[in-house]
Amino acid sequence: MTIKELSKYRDLKIEIPQLQDRITELEQTIVGSSKITGMPSSGGTTSNPTERIGLKLVKLRTNLLKKMEELIDRETKIEDFLETVDDAKVRIIIRKRFFEGKSWNDIGRELSFERTTPYYHLKKYLKERGASDEKAKACS
């Protein structure tokens, strides 16, 4: 597990509400013009603006579902990883930063560290763990 992999989870948590907001905005646009009662009937392009918005809405909803599935998969992967972390401070740092979305400064304050210490503590742990994982693979 790397900080980059952990950050992808955090980025998804930010992206999902943005997609939800866009869907709500499109739904309000549709309601303002007319109602759509299902999937638009035409298979190709359409000149009906409401149907075009409806098609975009369906595409956004599909994208949102994919992102939510990816988020759950990543969260499961991180939780599985956390079960193998023997350093309690590292587990706390990961949860606060990537699950709760706290800044490095906030985490540092909560753990009575300097503001950059949580980042370097996590980075050092992951680096050492990566080296020991590579060593174990080489011995196998």
> For residue 134, what pLDDT is reported?
67
80 plus 125 within the same structural domain: no
How many domains does one find in the chain?
Answer: 2
- What are the residue ranges in the chain where pLDDT is below 70? 31-47, 133-138, 140
98 plus 33 within the same structural domain: no
> Whose structure tokens read 């309000």?
28
Radius of gyration for the chain, computed over Cα atoms and rounded to the nearest angstrom: 22
* Residue 95 per-residue DSSP state: I
Say if residues 75 and 104 touch (Cβ distance below 8 Å): no
> Whose structure tokens read 């918005």?
53
Instruction: Find the domain containing 138 and state its range.
Output: 86-140
Closest CA to 112 of 93, 125, 131, 138: 93
| The token pair that represents 101 in the structure block | 């979305």
1 plus 44 within the same structural domain: yes
CA distance readout (Å), 88 to 55, 91, 95, 119? 48, 5, 11, 15
- Cα separation, 89 vs 63, in Å, equals 35
Please classify residue 97 by burial: count the beta carbons closer than 10 Å to its beta carbon, then call 0-12 exposed, 13-18 middle and 19+ buried. buried
**CB atoms inside a 10 Å sphere around CB 137:** 8
The pTM (predicted TM-score) of the whole model is: 0.68
Of the residues 57, 84, 111, the one at which a domain ends: 84
